[in-house]
């Protein structure tokens, strides 16, 4: 579409001045949100930001590297409980958060090993087995899960005289923003292109010199790092943890977010995260119907719009840009 002349231009995240304006306006609107929106909305948006991180991680794995994983709930649990235990013994939150990500990433490496031999459906089951096994270990082990009462985490005390909700909003917004920027940079770097090459054809990728072992494992590690951080933030936000927060449904929710938002797009991940959080809010009177909405949307998306919400948005934009012509 656009003519790119230098490598530096290729690495730029935003190429056109008008896009800069739109993105700036969007970020500004989000920054000012707590001042004009009701508290409830602020709260919901905070959860969306937390989820955005995990969905981006999942999208890096499924959408960009093409490795399917149903075990995200396991990484989520590992990250969350690592964070919980570390913060209980008095380690400050930035270190605990990074450790949560690293612990999940380490397990991601372990789960990534089967991906070197397995493909598609087989990998899906191996990761699914991992997710369920982690869940059951946490359910059966009181030392890890903090007993029947769950693990209580000290919440952050608000700084700068902000209310707790507003402070949480900004805190998670900034972290989500940082991770979004990191994902954009991953994709436009060698690593991201290696991921995409592996997705399109792994044998061909290996032939042209992509280290298959390293980049498949790296993709698992990065993805589970994101998910682990999401788990830690979620624990910090809610203030307590219990194993039942990390069932198979949780993995499915992350998965649904990626599919509905759009495979292989960061914007799509954000839209998908918003979708899976907003739908239960909108349908709060009919709790049982939430999975039905997810399922119907998945089927519609896969049959009619394989690139998800982002694909629709992209087509709309294209339509208006070329308007009188088609």
Partner 1 sequence: MTQFLQYTISGLSTGSIYALVALGLALIYRSTRILHFAHGDITTAGTFFAFALLGLNLHYWLAFILALLFGAVLAMIFYFCVLVPAQRREATQLGQIILTVGLGLILQGLISYFGGTEPQSFPFPLSDTKLYRFGDIVISELSLGTFGIGLLACVLFYLLVQKTRIGLAMRATSENLPAAQTMGIPTRGILALSWGLAALLGVLAGLFLAPTLLLDPFFMLEPFLKGFAAAILGGLNSLPGAIVGGLILGVSESLAGGFISIAFKNTFAFLIIILVLLVRPEGLLGEEFKERV
Q: How far is the CB of 21 from partner 1 (least distance, A)?
A: 36
Whole-angstrom distance, CA of residue 42 vs CA of residue 39: 5
299 near partner 1 (CB under 8 A):
yes
DSSP state of 160: T
252 near partner 1 (CB under 8 A):
yes
The footprint of partner 1 on this chain (CB under 8 A) covers a number of residues equal to: 45
290 near partner 1 (CB under 8 A):
yes
Whole-angstrom distance, CA of residue 27 vs CA of residue 297: 28
Opening angle at CA 115, ends 113 and 117, nearest 5: 95
By CB under 8 A, name the one of 92, 121, 161, 209 that touches partner 1: 121
Whose CA is closest to 253, among 220, 221, 230, 219?
Answer: 230
Burial tier of 90 (Cβ tally within 10 Å: 0-12, 13-18, 19+): exposed
292 near partner 1 (CB under 8 A):
yes
Q: How far is the CB of 209 from partner 1 (least distance, A)?
A: 16
Q: Which is nearer to partner 1, 153 or 256 (CB)?
A: 256
Query: Taking the mean position of all CA atoms in its chain, how far away is CA 243?
Result: 20
Q: Which is nearer to partner 1, 201 or 211 (CB)?
A: 201
302 near partner 1 (CB under 8 A):
yes
Whole-angstrom distance, CA of residue 282 vs CA of residue 274: 12
Contacting range for partner 1; rule: CB under 8 A; set: 35-43, 169-177, 233-241, 283-291: 283-291
By CB under 8 A, name the one of 163, 185, 201, 281 that touches partner 1: 201
Beta 240-241 vs 151-152: how paired, if at all? Answer: antiparallel
- Going by C-beta distance under 8 Å and a sequence separation of 6 or more, which residues neighbour residue 241? 80, 81, 84, 145, 146, 150, 151, 153, 235
Q: Which is nearer to partner 1, 256 or 273 (CB)?
A: 256
- Return the residues of window 30-69 that contact partner 1 according to CB under 8 A: 66, 68
By CB under 8 A, name the one of 91, 118, 156, 238 that touches partner 1: 118
Burial tier of 147 (Cβ tally within 10 Å: 0-12, 13-18, 19+): exposed
124 near partner 1 (CB under 8 A):
yes
By CB under 8 A, name the one of 27, 204, 316, 318 that touches partner 1: 204
Site residues, partner 1 (CB under 8 A): 66, 68, 113-114, 117-122, 124-126, 128-130, 132-133, 136-137, 140, 201, 203-204, 248, 252, 255-256, 259, 286, 288-299, 302-303, 306
């Amino acid at each position: 579409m656009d003519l790119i002349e230098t490598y530096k231009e290729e690495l730029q995240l935003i190429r056109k001045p008008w896009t800069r304006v739109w993105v700036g306006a969007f970020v500004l609107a989000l920054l000012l949100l707590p001042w004009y929106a009701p508290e409830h909305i602020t709260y919901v948006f905070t959860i969306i930001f937390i989820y955005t991180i995990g969905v981006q991680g999942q999208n890096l794995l499924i959408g960009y590297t093409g490795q399917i994983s149903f075990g995200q709930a396991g990484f989520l649990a590992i990250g969350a409980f690592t964070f919980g235990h570390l913060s209980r013994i008095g380690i400050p939150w930035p270190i605990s958060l990074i450790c949560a990500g690293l612990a999940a990433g380490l397990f991601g490496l372990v789960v990534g090993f089967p991906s070197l031999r397995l493909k598609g459906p087989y990998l899906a089951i191996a990761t699914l087995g991992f997710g369920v096994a982690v869940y059951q270990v946490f359910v059966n082990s009181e030392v890890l899960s903090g007993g029947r009462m769950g693990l209580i985490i000290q919440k952050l005390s608000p700084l700068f005289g902000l209310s707790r909700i507003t402070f949480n909003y900004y805190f998670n917004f900034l972290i989500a923003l940082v991770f979004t920027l990191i994902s954009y940079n991953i994709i436009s770097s060698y690593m991201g292109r290696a991921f995409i090459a592996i997705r399109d054809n792994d044998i061909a990728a290996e032939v042209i010199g992509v280290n298959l072992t390293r980049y498949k494992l790296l993709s698992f590690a990065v993805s589970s790092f994101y998910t682990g951080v999401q788990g830690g933030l979620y624990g910090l936000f809610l203030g307590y943890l219990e194993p039942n927060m990390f069932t198979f449904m949780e993995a499915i929710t992350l998965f649904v977010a990626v599919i509905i938002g759009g495979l292989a797009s960061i914007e799509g991940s954000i839209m998908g995260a918003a979708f899976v959080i907003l739908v239960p809010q909108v349908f709060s009177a009919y709790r049982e119907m939430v999975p039905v909405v997810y399922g119907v949307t998945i089927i519609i998306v896969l049959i009619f719009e394989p690139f998800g919400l982002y694909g629709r948005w992209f087509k709309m934009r294209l339509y208006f840009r070329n308007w009188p012509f088609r």
